[in-house]
Amino acid sequence: MDLSKFNRRKYTDYKTPIEYLANLSKILACNVYIKRDDLLGLAAGGNKTRKLEFLMADAMNKNCDSIITCGAVQSNHCRLTLAAAKKENMACHLVLEERVPNSYNPKANGNNFLFRLLGVDGISLVEKGANMADEMQKVADALAEKGKKPYIIPGGGSNEIGSLGYVACAQELYQQMYESKLHFDAIYLASGSGGTHSGLLVGLRDIGVETPLFGISVNRNKDEQKKVISDLCEKIISFHKLPVKLSPEDIIIDDKFVGRGYSYPTEGMVEAVQTLAREEAILLDPTYTGKAMAGMLGHIRSNKYTKEENILFLHTGGAPALYSIPEVIINGVGVDRL
């Protein structure tokens, strides 16, 4: 895909590095690499920055002055959307879903602190299971009545426009592989709202890279998540008229590391976060990359790979959420032991 034809803002002026994890590789007896999308631009970085380059450009092209988006109470996507809006001198309103009962504290640390520091223009709190599209539309209607021109960004920035960010990432990754003469036998990432997973998958297949892409689900069972990814892949392919054909085998989902559900801590997540911090000085997050790393570690420890094979983990960011639950991360308080 020729991405030059799309409107795009640039929030990161460099390729995110691919690091070889020497200590972890020694422990696991295979070659482990990590692509550091946690080092992307905007406030504390993360995968949503890539999506926002295209989404914010679309909003600006439509002369919008207010951004509305949604997420969980410690949403990394909301943090980065707010940061992008402030960068572009636009207002930003957040709709937060309390997916875990009584989990929202506006004065909490982590992303809640950053919402306040960045100067969020409005927060609406809704109960678990609320129709988030409807809730965002209510905010948009109220703003429109005041003469504003709002732009709604879906949860995770996961639509056919935002997913272009990870089509672009696929091209960047391919160039890095070529320049470093690296081949990967598998790529792992957290699979949630689907924009990162589907965009990267379509982007890789579009340039002829057939490396298996393992999505570790952080919120849904395997069948539901496969449908989310499949539907979004088809939207990307259709909307942008790409000559890409995916088979059902291209969409690989492992749902065994979700635990009780989205954002509920698990023992595997805690162990993965501690391991990466103590072996490689890299911070994961408890909701996405911690569970995704637990999944990758589980696969490697089951002797899925040989010592000659190269495995890549896509680090999608989110470390600020660590600071909202320090006792869980350090001492395992409240983890899911089911």
CA–CA gap between residue 192 and residue 72 (Å, rounded) = 12
CA–CA gap between residue 117 and residue 75 (Å, rounded) = 15
In angstroms, what CA-CA distances link 74 with 3, 46, 90, 247, 304? 32, 14, 22, 35, 34
Q: What are 93's strand-pairing partners? A: 68, 122
CA quadruple 58, 144, 104, 335: dihedral sign? negative
CA–CA gap between residue 240 and residue 160 (Å, rounded) = 8
In angstroms, what CA-CA distances link 307 with 29, 30, 33, 296, 315? 5, 4, 13, 15, 22
User: What's the residue count for the chain?
Assistant: 338
- 82 contacts 94 by C-beta, under 8 angstroms: yes
- 313 contacts 276 by C-beta, under 8 angstroms: no
Q: In terms of Cα–Cα distance, which of 178, 175, 230 is closest to 202?
A: 230
CA–CA gap between residue 21 and residue 34 (Å, rounded) = 7
Residue 286 Cα to chain centre, angstroms = 12
Bridge-based pairing of strands 310-315 and 91-98 is unpaired
**Active site includes 75?**
yes
Q: In terms of Cα–Cα distance, which of 249, 156, 167, 231 is closest to 202?
A: 167
List 66, 75, 263, 324, catalytic entry:
75
CA–CA gap between residue 307 and residue 252 (Å, rounded) = 23
- Phi/psi for 89 (5° steps) reads 60, 45
Q: So which residues are the catalytic ones?
A: 75
